[in-house]
A and B are shown apart, each in its own frame.
Chain A
Amino acid sequence: MQRISLAHGEGGELTHQLIQDLFIQSFGHSEQTKLDSAILAIPSQTIAVTTDSYVIKPIFFPGGNIGKLAITGTVNDLAVSGAIPHVITAGFMIEEGFPIKSLKEIVHTMASEAERAGVNIVAGDTKVVEKGSVDGLFINTTGIGVIQEQHRLKPEMVQEGDSVIISGTIGDHGVAILSARQELGLLTDVRSDCASLNHLIHELLEEIEGIRIMRDPTRGGLATTLVELCEDCHFTMEIDEASIPVRRDVQGGCDILGYDPLYLANEGKVVIIVDSNDRQKALDILKNHELGKDAGVIGQITSCHVQSGKLLLKTAVGTTRRLNRLSGQLLPRIC
C-alpha cells in the first residue's frame, strides 16, 4: 500500500504531485492557487469567521470520517451564527506512513460534503510529520460566512416563554464514535449524525423572523451547550426530560456504560430559541426536512436578564434539577 512519507511534506516534487493530483483535483480551485493567498470577493459588509481542528479517533466511523466532520463542523458553526457559509480553508497535518488511499477517500469526502453544503475550499496546507507526532491525520478548517442583515440573530430579544427546539435525537455521534472505537464491548447500529445543517438553517431564517439564537450542541453535548447559552445570554431555561428525543439504542448504550446522552457530542443537530408564536412554523419546517424529522420542542425560557443564567431539567417525577456543564472527562463506570 502506498503511504505518505516525510518527502510528501518537504515542498518538492512529491508535495507538488500530492497537491496537484489530490487536493486541486478534488477541491477544484486551480485559479486561486496561482497566488499565495486566495483572493475573495465577499458579497457582504459583515462576515463570520470560525476555525476548528479535527483530531477524531477513529478517523473513519459509521456515518462519516474526519474529512466530512471537518467540513460539516465548520459549516455548522457558521450556519448557527446566522451566516451563509461561503469559503473554507483546510490544513492537513499528516503522520508519516498514513495510507494514501485513506487520504484520498477523506479528501474526496470533503469535496463532496463541501459541494453539498455549497462552500468552496479555497486554500489549503499540507504538513507531514514524523511517525508518532500526530495520530494519523489532523485537519484544521477555517470558514468564512456572510451575514445577511435580515438574518442577524437577536439574542437580546429573548423573552420569557420563548420555545427551545432541538432538530433531532441527541447523543448519536458520541455513541457512534464509542462503538467505532470498539470500546463499548457491544455492537450498535448507531451512525454519527454528522451533516451540514446550513440549508436547513437558511430555510428557517428565511421563513421565521422570531429566531433569537441558535447553537450546535457538539462537544459537551446538549446540556453543556445550553448551560453556556444560559450563562452567556443571562436567561434561565427549563427543559423537559421526557420530551428530549433520544434513540433507544443510544439510551441503551448509555445506560450500560454510565454515560448520559445529554453530555454526548452531536455533529448534525441545532438548538433553536424561537418566539413561541413561531414555534409551530419552525417545527413544521424542521420536520419537513430529512435532517430535522425528529425535531421537537424541549423546553422554554423561564426568566430573562438574570445575573447568572441557569439550565433546569424537569424530571418525569415532577422535580426540577439544575444541569451543569460536563465536568472533566466522561469515564465509563464499573457496574
Chain B
Amino acid sequence: MANMDLFSDPVLTRESVEAVIDLAKRFKEEKGRIPVFMEVCGSHTMALAKTGIKARLKDYVQLIAGPGCPVCVTDQKSIDAMVQLSEEPNTILCTFGDMMRVPGSKSTLMKAKTEGKDIRVVYSPLDSVHIAEENPDKEVIFLGIGFETTIPILALTVREAARKDLNNYSIWMATKLVEPVLRALLSSEEVKLDGFLLPGHVSVVLGKQSYRYLADEYTISGVITGFEPVELLSGIYKLLVLQLEKRVKIINDYTYVVRDKGNVVAQTLLEEYLEAHDEVWRGMGTISNSGLVLKEQYAQFDAKKKFNILVGEPRVTKCRCGEIVRGLITPEECVLFNKSCTPTHPIGPCMVSTEGTCAAHFQFMREV
C-alpha cells in the first residue's frame, strides 16, 4: 500500500509543481504553444481547482475539464423528468445529494422536498432498497445517475431487490459510459488535446486495458491518475514526458488502486443486468450505445417502464453547460457565471454538482 500522506505532502507537492513547469517550458520551446490536457473526471476537476494546481499551472499547461461530471452531462429533459417523477403520488424518491439542487425547467428536487414530497438523499443506492423494504406500500425509485463507477452498484440494488422479492423498487436509469463519449469528443475534433488525465475511480471498474482505443485508434496518450496533489501532478508530468519523447501510451499511474483488467466482479454485474442503450447527453445530443439500461428480464425494476412521465421541451436559458462539458469554453466565458448563476441560484447543473466545472471555478478559482 502506498503511503497516502506522501501524496498530499506540501514539500513534495511544491517540488512536483516545479518539475511539471520545467517540462512544460520545454514543451513550449519545442512546439511554440503550451500543452493542452483534458481531465475526464469531475472529481479531478474539483481536486485540480481546490488544490490550486489548475491556477498555478495556467501559464504552462492548459487543463480542460471533460464530460466526467455525471449530473452535468445529464440532458435537461431527463432532469425535468426526474423532477417531475417526484410529483408521482405514493412514491419515495431516492437520490444522490448532487441531484437535489439541479435546476429543472420548472422546479428542483430540493423545492419539491420543501413542498412535502418524500425525497431522500442516500449515500449508497443500496440504502434505497432498504427503504423499499421498510415501506412496502410505497413505490421507491432511485435516480440512477452515474458512470461506470456507480453503475455496478445500481445493478447490485436490482439483485438485492430481486432476492428480497420486492416489487416496489425501481431505478430511473440515466447512466453514462466513458468510452462512447470520449470517442464522440475525439471524433468531433472540436478540441485539440495532447493527452488525457484518465479518471481514477472509473478505472477501478474498467481497468487500464479499457483505454487501448485511445492510443491505438486516436493516437492520444492517457494517464490513469489519483486525486491527491502529488498524484495529479505526477499524472500531468507523465503526459508531458510522453509528449516530449513523442510516444503514445496509456499509463496506469494509480497502480495501487487500478488493475489492468479492472474489477471483474463489477464488470460481470454490468453484463448480467444491463445492456447498452442510446443516451442523450447535454450539449452533445444522442450518442449511440453511450448508456446502460436494465435488460428486458429486469423490466419490473425499470422506473421508466413503470411510470409514464411525459415532459415538454425544456425551458431555454443562456446556460452554456453544454459547451463546458465538451471543453469548448471555460465557465468565465458564460455570461451567467457568477452573475445570475451561482451555487445558491444555479441555472445549469455545472454550477450545482460537487463535480461541476462551474462550481469548481466559482468556489476555488474566482479572482482573489
Contact = CB atoms under 8 A, between A and B. Distances in A.
A332 B343 contact: no
Nearest to A252: B4
A321 B145 CA distance: 31
A317 B229 CA distance: 8
A334 B146 contact: yes
Interface string B201-236: 100000000000000000000000001010000000
Contacts of B344: 327-328
A318 B21 CA distance: 13
A334 B150 contact: yes
Contacts of A316: 8, 10, 13-14, 51-52, 229
Given A327-B343, A335-B70, A184 B52 contact: no
Contacts of B365: 321
B201 A335 contact: yes
A257 B122 CA distance: 11
B363 interface: yes
Contacts of B70: 334-335
Given A184-B123, A315-B51, A321 B364 contact: yes
B261 to A, nearest CB: 20
A320 B366 CA distance: 10
B368 A335 contact: no
Interface string A321-335: 110100111011111
A335 B97 contact: no
A329 B110 CA distance: 10
A321 B368 contact: yes
A335 B44 CA distance: 11
A312 B52 CA distance: 12
A68 interface: no
Interface string B8-36: 10100110010000000000000000000
B100 interface: yes
Interface residues of A, number: 26
A127 to B, nearest CB: 25
Contact of B55 (A185, A321, A329, A335): A321
Nearest to B55: A319
A335 B150 contact: yes
B249 interface: no
B354 A258 contact: yes
Contacts of B353: 333-334
A184 B70 CA distance: 21
Given A328-B344, A331-B354, A334-B70, A318 B146 contact: no
Contacts of B366: 321-322
A183 interface: yes
A87 B113 CA distance: 40
B97 A331 contact: yes
B224 to A, nearest CB: 15
Contacts of A315: 50-52, 56
B101 A317 contact: no
Interface string B138-174: 0000000111011000000000000000000000000
Contact of A332 (B51, B96, B145, B147): B96
Given A315-B50, A334-B355, A335-B43, 12 more contacts: A258-B354, A316-B10, A316-B14, A320-B52, A321-B55, A321-B364, A321-B368, A322-B366, A322-B368, A327-B343, A334-B98, A335-B355
Interface of B: 8, 10, 13-14, 17, 43, 50-53, 55-56, 70-71, 96-98, 100-101, 121, 123-124, 127, 145-147, 149-150, 201, 227, 229, 342-344, 353-355, 363-366, 368
List the 8 closest A-B pairs by CB distance, nearest first: A331-B97, A315-B52, A319-B52, A333-B354, A316-B10, A332-B97, A335-B149, A242-B10
6 contacts: A312-B368, A315-B56, A316-B52, A320-B52, A321-B52, A321-B368
